[in-house]
Chain A
Amino acid sequence: MTAPDIVLRAEGITKIYGGTVALDNVDFNVYRGKVNVLIGENGAGKSTLMKIIAGAETATRGRLLLEGQPVQFKSPREAARAGIGIIYQELNLFPNLSVAENIFLDQEALGRHGILVDRRRQQAEARRLLQRLEQPLDPQELVGHLRLGQQQIVEIAKALARDVRILIMDEPTSALTTAEVEILFRVIRELKAQGVSIIYISHKLEELLRIGDYVTVLRDSHRIAEAPVSAIDVNWLVEQMIGRSVSETYVHQERTPGQELLRVEHLRLPRPGGGLLLDDISFQVRAGEIVALYGLLGAGRTELLECLMGLHPEASGSLWIAGQRLRGRHVSERIAEGLVLVPEDRQREGLVPTLSVAQNIVLASLRRYLSGPVLSRKKELAAVRRLMGELGIKAPSPQTLIEALSGGNQQKVVVARGLLTEPRVMLLDEPTRGIDIGAKADLFRLMNRLASEGLGILFVSSELREVMSVADRILVLARGRLTGEFRREEASEEALVAAASAGQEPATAATRDEQAAHSPVQSGAADPVDRQTQAPAPAASASEERRHQTRPRA
């Protein structure tokens, strides 16, 4: 057996920011043509290490050896010239530029005289790259108009357009659906075969085990372990990362759902160019029930939640909360009526970066903290302190700027803001996106606690494991239609995936909706889920393929 070939080696890297040590004497090996996984909780130092390798930061001590030669990158440009590419977790795209312009940024295809950009060539080339990723996006579309998952694809295409030897992917799948993850994995294998070395960061452990070749674990700025993936399993990973066991993460409590809280009937949302984004959606959420909304990207999950919050005045259909017909047309009225949304994209839709932790938390319920016409700092702080304790938000103080917090804690702040409005039904859109396993466990525990206190919870997720272990009931959305409804105990990965890739069978959806329309308003009756949709047959072969790939190994 020959020693594995190391293309890039980081030796004794130490990085000190002000007084805090972000990395302490860390070694890291990148093996040629392999997927080198780097894991650790948020704040363990992964991102810092990647920034050093990609030239965005310089190490305080230690050195980088590329092909055995010491190198020092003073800027991302120098690293890029050495063949190192990076896809950051918080995407680095320009929303005001087109897909093709983003892909070819800084290396524009020039026309004959080398002055003007050859748009046609760029667009053809972009189309070719996107085809390779099986994403028929329009190269002329503005990136700002794309959904997060699609933007992620553009990032990957951008990296592919440059000739990279080493490609760093920081949580590339956090916004992708199962099907897109498969495409990404195929691209990764293709890149490996071409000799490209991948550095792969993710919180999704099963995924790491599937795609990774070597794994390096960071904890509290130290390198804890390195091992070939073939020698380890999920439990080992979790133990190395946090020293706790995995079974504590995906918790589910037995509860008896109470009265119907939220009722949605015949919700329709027209697509701007004609057709329907949401087609006749009807369902209920009961008190003390956690309902998951599963579906592929573009199925209309986010739009559905947005409609419930009154963000689409062009939508039709009717909503009830606890038997009360909702009439509010504005978000503030929906919040007053007991609905609240925790949006998918924390940075873009959740947080106000210029405000403090406390100000972010009270933002949606300012009226509750008045004394006279004035905001009472005392009342605000009391509420904020209470929630920070309850939710375990780790921040130096309530006055800290929100930007200084880790992703998991930022997410808890957005959840806390929702909770302060005292909602009856909480809507969460991909609440676990980009947060570490510890924060995830906290979030699931919180959802369980809220449900036992009688809240109704509707959450969107693309992670099968999450959906199946946390939810009491699962709704599946495909191409704007509800194509499946499963109780916790009857859900299977196969059926969920099949329902999510359905949508070609209008008959299925139509019968369902008719039934929904005729069923009377139930109040605390036995079980409303008696009309489970069978997975349509044509999608079976697709699900067959996925089943092998998405089964958790734990």
Chain B
Amino acid sequence: MRFVALIILVVIFSILSPDFLTLNDLTIVAEHVSINALLAIGQSFVILTAGIDLSVGSIVGLTAMVAGYLISQGLPLPMFGVVVYFNAWVVILIGLLVGIVLGLVNGLVITRLSVAPFIATLGMLYAARGLALLTSNGATFPDLGGDPSLGNTGFPFLGTGNILGVPMPIWLMILFGLVASFVASRTPFGRQVYAIGGNERAAQLSGIRVNRVKLLVYVISGFCAAMTGLVIASQLQAAQPATGESYELNAIAAVVLGGTSLFGGRGTILGSIIGAFVSTALLPQGADHDHDSRR
């Protein structure tokens, strides 16, 4: 059904505007959508357990800033009097680690301290944004291309490079989407996520370790948010503390538009990706053609 709706939208918009559905346009759209889709994929797991993660936009920002800091400033080690510059891949790994740790904190606060997900992740929304501002005292890290003499070039490839003519962000969306769909529909963990969202007590009595699954779900969301932050910083080749502001709303909108119930237990990853298409690309772009921001 959702596919049908998507196809109808695409058809209508291409009739209304002759240059809506050109290959070039589609690639640009998909590239833009992929950022929201990455967030929506992580958010899907959280919402399937009847939780919510409001902190993803801030995690995007903090990860972008951490990556920007490591590339442009390096890691100073005062006791040795040196500054270490990491390889681009290591920067990416550290960025992902930041997302995992923040997701872990979200999950621990929710499961150990029994704080409602809305409140716990709202707290993280402010905390992570604050940290993002602290990394540069509010300034932007420009020129993340790296310096060959420091051996830290290559970071822009993540957001601007392409393989077989397809931009990296789209590859990432496809990769994350496939893995997440597979995990959600085919693994015990995925089944447990659906069960907890459907009836937490029944899940508990069936021997499911509810807290462990919930913890993991927020880690996944943090991880996806970190990936998104890295992609954005890499696309812009700059990192601003405001990166990703209010992205949590787009991600939640994509998940809900994609058919996932906010009460948990129902929905699919594929639905969320389609939701991301509809909410980020089709609706704003197709419906409002005078304001053609993407060209």
Contact = CB atoms under 8 A, between A and B. Distances in A.
Interface string A359-394: 100011011001001110000000000000000000
B282 to A, nearest CB: 28
A374 B207 contact: no
Contacts of B266: 354
A374 B179 CA distance: 12
Contacts of B197: 354
B289 interface: no
A425 B207 CA distance: 15
Nearest to B48: A354
Contact of A363 (B182, B186, B195): B195
B202 A352 contact: yes
Contacts of A354: 194, 197-199, 264-266
A348 B199 CA distance: 8
B191 A375 contact: yes
A309 B205 contact: yes
Interface centre among B186, B187, B205, B209 (most CB of A within 10 A): B205
A335 interface: yes
Interface centre among B199, B203, B204, B265 (most CB of A within 10 A): B199
B192 interface: yes
Interface in A413-437: 417, 421
Interface string A302-331: 000000010100000000000000000011
A417 B199 CA distance: 15
A72 interface: no
A164 B243 CA distance: 62
A160 to B, nearest CB: 31
A195 interface: no
A350 B186 contact: no
A334 B199 CA distance: 20
Given A335-B207, A343-B205, A363-B208, A355 B186 contact: no
B208 A352 contact: no
Interface residues of A, number: 29
B interface, by DSSP: helix, strand, loop or mixed?
Answer: helix
A348 B208 contact: no
A373 B208 contact: no
B243 to A, nearest CB: 35
Contacts of A374: 182, 186-187
A341 interface: yes
Interface in A326-353: 330-332, 334-336, 341, 343, 348-353
Contacts of B208: 331-332, 363
B192 A366 contact: yes
B2 interface: no
Contact of A352 (B182, B188, B203): B203
Nearest to B266: A354
B187 A351 contact: no
Given A348-B201, A352-B199, A367 B188 contact: yes
Contact of B206 (A348, A363, A367, A375): A363
Nearest to A363: B206
A359 B191 contact: yes
Contacts of A309: 205
Contact of A364 (B198, B199, B207): B207
Given A331-B204, A349-B201, A349-B202, A355 B188 contact: no
Interface in B185-237: 186-188, 191-192, 194-195, 197-199, 201-209
B142 to A, nearest CB: 43
Interface centre among A334, A336, A350, A355 (most CB of B within 10 A): A355
A341 B205 contact: yes
Nearest to A341: B205
B114 to A, nearest CB: 14
Contacts of A336: 207
Contacts of B192: 366
Contacts of A348: 199, 201-202
A426 to B, nearest CB: 13
Interface in B121-176: none
B207 A349 contact: no
Nearest to B195: A352
A376 to B, nearest CB: 9
B263 to A, nearest CB: 9
Nearest to B261: A354
Contacts of A353: 198-199, 265
Nearest to B209: A332
A332 B198 CA distance: 19
Nearest to A336: B207
A364 B194 contact: no
Interface string A522-540: 0000000000000000000
Nearest to B185: A375
B264 to A, nearest CB: 8
A331 B264 CA distance: 22
Contact of A375 (B188, B202, B205, B209): B188
Contacts of A421: 207
A295 to B, nearest CB: 21
A364 B187 contact: no
A374 B195 CA distance: 17
Contacts of A343: 202, 205
Contacts of B198: 352-355
A364 B188 contact: no
Given A332-B208, A332-B209, A355-B198, A363 B203 contact: yes
Nearest to B206: A364
Contacts of A363: 191, 195, 202-203, 206, 208
Contact of A355 (B187, B195, B201, B207): B195
B200 to A, nearest CB: 9
A343 B202 CA distance: 9
Interface of A: 309, 311, 330-332, 334-336, 341, 343, 348-355, 359, 363-364, 366-367, 370, 373-375, 417, 421
> 4 shortest A-B CB distances, which residue pairs?
A354-B265, A354-B198, A332-B207, A352-B198
9 contacts: A311-B204, A330-B207, A352-B195, A352-B199, A352-B265, A354-B197, A354-B198, A355-B198, A359-B195
Interface of B: 182, 186-188, 191-192, 194-195, 197-199, 201-209, 264-266
Given A375-B187, A375-B188, 16 more contacts: A311-B204, A336-B207, A341-B205, A343-B205, A349-B201, A352-B194, A352-B265, A353-B199, A354-B198, A354-B266, A355-B195, A359-B191, A359-B194, A366-B188, A366-B191, A421-B207
